[in-house]
Structures are given as structure tokens and as C-alpha cells.
Amino acid sequence: LGEGVSAGDVLDKGLIGGMTVVGKLFKENEIFLPEVMLAAQAMDAGVQVLEPLLLKSGGQRVKGKIALGTVAGDVHSIGKNLVMVVLRGSGFEVTDLGVNTPPQKFVDAARNGAQIIGMSALLTTTMQNMKIVMEALEEAGLKERVKTMIGGCIVTQEYADFIGADGYAPDAGSAVDKAKELLDLT
């Protein structure tokens, strides 16, 4: 930043780029969970520095309200928090529903004006809770009124299609594009 690199480039090319490498190395068993956690903590610290700058550079506010949460049973927050920062930096109003979020909390967010419900899961054992949230939105009569978007390192477009989610984002940058698409802002 001191050398004139934009906050967006530091996030995209530095932090996200670095975590992409970390993810690849972890997947290939070249590094292990302690190293991943250290990298995640460093990224979190960097994001905290960048967030105010990204919000300032967001430009014109996009008229979109998004509620993000990690589904019930899953306490991982790094990916969700990164998506939240990037969405806010792109002008979206984002409500953080936290981690281990019960289906009713997603339903309440939809009732309270969220236009997009975003769900994250890191574990295959908790991924099924995304489907439960989709069913809860349907039962509450909200599925047609709110858009849904899912993501997480184990989530795929195929799973999004299977549970009837409106969108899937494999990473934070894609989440912004998908949110704009879902709200017809592209």
C-alpha cells in the first residue's frame, strides 16, 4: 500500500493469490493444517487492514442486501469473511449471520429484507445443511422472493443445481459477479 498498490490488488493478487497457493499445497500434502492456519491468520490480519480502504473505494453503492452465514455444524469463517469483505468493497450491504448458523436465522434474514442469502460450508458433513436451509426458505414461502448463493471449498456447481440454489461462487471475486448477476446489476 505504501508503494501505491491499490487495496484491491493487494487483496486479489497478494492475499487471495497467496491463499490459493496455500490451498493447492495443502491439497497436495506439501503443507499441513498448522501452516494453513498460520496463513489464514495472516490473511485475516491483512483483510482487517484492507477492509476500510476497500469500503472507501467501493464507489457508488450497489442497491443490494446480502446475508452471509456458515451453515449449522460448521464453524469455519475465513472464506465467508473474505467474501463479505469483497462484497462490501464492491458496494453491497452485507449482514454477517456468523458461523454454525441455524436454518431459521437464514429465513429471518430473508424476511428482514435480504435479497440474497449466501451460505458457506467447508465440510462435506455440513454441506447437506445448505439443502436444509433451501427447504426452510421454501417452507416459509420465501424461495421465490430471495436469491440463494452457495460456496465453500467442497461445494460445486453441481451441488448448487442439486439443491436448487440460484448461484454458486468458487471464490470471493466470483461471488461479486454472481451477486450482481442474481440482482440483474450486470
* Mean pLDDT confidence for 55-83: 82
- 51 with 70, same domain: the answer is no
Is 2 within a domain?
no
- Report whether 171 contacts 139 (CB < 8 A): no
- 15 with 79, same domain: the answer is no
Domain around 150: 65-182
* Mean pLDDT confidence for 140-147: 97
Is 1 within a domain?
no
Please count the structural domains in the chain.
2
Mean of all residue pLDDT scores within the chain: 88
* Mean pLDDT confidence for 124-137: 97
Portion of the chain with pLDDT greater than 70, in percent: 94
CATH number of the domain where residue 98 is located:
3.40.50.280
- 52 with 71, same domain: the answer is no
Portion of the chain with pLDDT greater than 90, in percent: 51
Write the pLDDT tens digit of every residue in 20-31: 787 678 778 898
Write the pLDDT tens digit of every residue in 74-84: 998 888 988 88
Q: What is the DSSP letter of 15?
A: I
Distance (Å) of CA 162 to CA 1, 71, 124, 143, 157: 43, 17, 15, 15, 9
- 33 with 123, same domain: the answer is no
- 35 with 80, same domain: the answer is no
pTM of the model: 0.75
- Report whether 143 contacts 137 (CB < 8 A): yes
